[in-house]
Amino acid sequence: MSNDLRVGVVGAGLMGADHIARITHRIAGAVVSAVVEPDAGRAAAAAANAPGAQAFARIEDAIAADAVDAVLIAVPGQFHEPVLVPALAAGLPILCEKPLTPDSASSWRILELEQKLARPHIQVGFMRRFDAEYQALRALVASGDSGELMLLRCAHRNPSVPDSYTQTMLINDSVVHEFDVVPWLAGSPVKTVEVKYPRRNSLSPAHLREPILVLMELENGVLVDVEMNVSVQFGYQVATEAVFEKGLARIGQPSGLQTWRDGRFSVADHVSFTTRFAAAYDEQIQRWVNAVRAGTLVDGPNAWDGYRVALACEAGVKALDGGVIPVEAPERPAFYA
Ligand SMILES: NC(=O)c1ccc[n+]([C@@H]2O[C@H](COP(=O)([O-])OP(=O)(O)OC[C@H]3O[C@@H](n4cnc5c(N)ncnc54)[C@H](O)[C@@H]3O)[C@@H](O)[C@H]2O)c1
Ligand SMILES: O[C@H]1[C@H](O)[C@@H](O)[C@H](O)[C@@H](O)[C@H]1O
């Protein structure tokens, strides 16, 4: 009998379907044993990439049927808590797509539940930490080879967003990634958040005022600006320039196929996060599967990191209305040391 980890994927939309395909085709040591998806069409489409998986409408049913050893949550953020609660109660390891939950109060409730277990069981899907370029930049910061880090200039550009994307999603759905990865890169938490508005892009959905410039000060004095820009039309770009005392570093530059034709030189680049971060998602899921099989359960951002990000997002949402908003966090429980 195979001892592959039996993963139940909850939500088979864009990310859930992508993760199902990667577990089935690219990840070693795991199979998709259950797909929990209320939309019958999506469930059927996902089943094609998950041979042998059982279909359920609710996570509670998959748990009751003893169909899963671990849970991957890929439903929209407002539905994370109702899946996290029964999965934690069953003592199952969890990979939860970002955000942990949509606000700090609900994230705190999850921390309280998780602390009833012997060790952390939740990893949060901040996949940028698994991107090779982000890892190289973090190693450069830690090495001190270029002197101290002073500034991070971040660009986060999406080609377009659907009409359902709201003003607060600029923070909660998009800058949420920088609120995780910037402290991880710079080795220091976010102290304050401020938002500035440049001239509006007339191609944005009518209800959005964007792009925005998010300014963060970190506890260690590093200043960070994030250009959050979701109607750029030309492609998907996540890039960072790090300014050190005696050097510069850049990640996220176009690196695809180069062509030179008819007097024009061009480089193919991404139009979606699904390709830009494909290798990072693979690495994230493989390392999670390895950690669960080894019994360490988490190898990446944990629920405490998810809670810290929720606090920063709340400051970010307040900052959309003006002001320099402090991010205040309680002491980290020893459980997450
Ligand atoms: N890491 C990343 O770069 C990244 C990118 C996109 C989305 N995400 C995250 O992934 C998650 C899913 O986003 P998406 O874009 O795939 O959404 P989506 O809307 O494409 O898919 C969500 C799916 O969940 C299903 N669903 C809704 N409620 C459910 C429930 N209670 N139980 C089971 N299924 C339910 C829906 O029917 C739908 O098929 C979100 O948390 C989002 O923030 C992360
Ligand atoms: O949900 C997506 C996803 O998290 C992407 O990584 C991010 O670039 C987008 O801005 C966001 O809308």
236 CA closest ligand 2 atom index: 8
228 CA closest ligand 2 atom index: 10
Q: Report the percent of the chain where pLDDT is more than 90.
A: 99
Tell me how crowded residue 279 is: count the other CB atoms within 10 A of its CB.
13
Q: How far is the CA of 314 from the centre of ligand 1 (A)?
A: 21
CA distance 55 to 216: 44
Q: Judge if the beta carbon of residue 306 lies within 6 A of ligand 1.
A: no
Tell me how crowded residue 14 is: count the other CB atoms within 10 A of its CB.
13
Protein residue closest via CA to atom 37 of ligand 1: 39
For a pocket test of ligand 1, which of 56, 97, 313 has the largest count of ligand atoms closer than 8 A to its C-beta? 97
CATH code linked to domain 5-128+279-302: 3.40.50.720
Q: How far is the CA of 334 from the centre of ligand 2 (A)?
A: 31
Q: Report the percent of the chain where pLDDT is more than 70.
A: 100
Q: Residue 114 — very low, low, confident or very high, per pLDDT cuts 50/70/90?
A: very high
| Residue pLDDT, tens place only, 22-74 | 999 999 999 999 999 999 999 999 989 999 999 999 999 999 999 999 999 99
Q: Report the pLDDT averaged over residues 276-301.
A: 98
Q: Residue 262 — very low, low, confident or very high, per pLDDT cuts 50/70/90?
A: very high
Protein residue closest via CA to atom 9 of ligand 2: 174
Coil, strand, or helix at residue 207? coil
Q: How far is the CA of 14 from the centre of ligand 1 (A)?
A: 7
Site residues for ligand 2, CB cut-off 6 Å: 158, 173-174, 177, 273
Residue 29: per-residue pLDDT: 98
Angle at 317 between CA 314 and CA 322, to 5 degrees: 125
- Asked if residue 248 lies in contact with residue 206, where contact means CB atoms within 8 angstroms, the answer is no
Protein residue closest via CA to atom 11 of ligand 2: 174
Q: How far is the CA of 313 from the centre of ligand 2 (A)?
A: 14
CA distance 5 to 1: 12
Give the ligand with the smallest distance to the CA of 156: 2
Q: How far is the CA of 146 from the centre of ligand 2 (A)?
A: 31
Structure tokens at 210: 């964007």
Q: Report the pLDDT averaged over residues 172-185.
A: 98
For a pocket test of ligand 2, which of 126, 158, 212 has the largest count of ligand atoms closer than 8 A to its C-beta? 158
CA distance 308 to 286: 25
Stronger pLDDT, 2 or 263, i.e. the higher one: 263
Q: How far is the CA of 117 from the centre of ligand 2 (A)?
A: 31
Q: How far is the CA of 15 from the centre of ligand 2 (A)?
A: 11
Protein residue closest via CA to atom 6 of ligand 2: 273
- Asked if residue 177 lies in contact with residue 129, where contact means CB atoms within 8 angstroms, the answer is no
Coil, strand, or helix at residue 272? coil
Protein residue closest via CA to atom 7 of ligand 2: 174
Q: Where are the domains of the chain?
A: 5-128+279-302, 132-276
Residue 2: per-residue pLDDT: 81
Instruction: Examine domains 5-128+279-302 and 132-276 and report if their fold is the same.
Output: no
Architecture of domain 132-276: 2-Layer Sandwich (3.30)
Please tell me the pTM assigned to this model: 0.97
Protein residue closest via CA to atom 10 of ligand 2: 174
Residue 47: per-residue pLDDT: 87
ipTM: 0.98
16 CA closest ligand 1 atom index: 16
| Residue pLDDT, tens place only, 94-106 | 999 999 999 999 9
